[in-house]
Amino acid sequence: MNVGPGFKLTHLQAMLLFALAISIAFGFLSRRKPIERVKYIVWSLFLFLLIGVGIGWAMYPFSR
């Protein structure tokens, strides 16, 4: 990651940051208790990454 005039992130880094930010926001907005929030954040993050990587592999045959 090169932080200069513009952030240069790899695809995976961008997806990780995006998924983490959204999962944290969803966790805090939809749950009250801290333990429930943590569970929701971890589960949401896992599903974001799983589905993101899954869609990536599903598109692989059409990439060239």
Partner 1 sequence: MTGETSAPAVPQQNSRRERIAFAIGVAGWLVPGLGHALMKMWGRAVACFLTVGVLVILGAGMRGNVFNSSGNDAFDSLGYLADLGTGTFYMLARALERDGSDVSRAEGDYGTRFLATAGVLNLLAALHAYEAARGRKA
Q: Which residues bind partner 1 (CB under 8 A)?
A: 3, 5-9, 11, 14, 17-18, 21-22, 24-25, 27-29
Q: Nearest Cα to 22, choosing from 11, 10, 30? A: 30
Tokens encoding 48: 């974001």
Q: Which is nearer to partner 1, 18 or 46 (CB)?
A: 18
Q: Which is nearer to partner 1, 6 or 61 (CB)?
A: 6
Backbone angles phi, psi at 3, to 5 degrees: -95, 100
Question: How near is the Cβ of 63 to partner 1 at its closest, in Å?
Answer: 14
The answer to whether residues 27 and 38 touch, using CB atoms and an 8 Å cutoff, is yes
Q: Which is nearer to partner 1, 32 or 57 (CB)?
A: 32
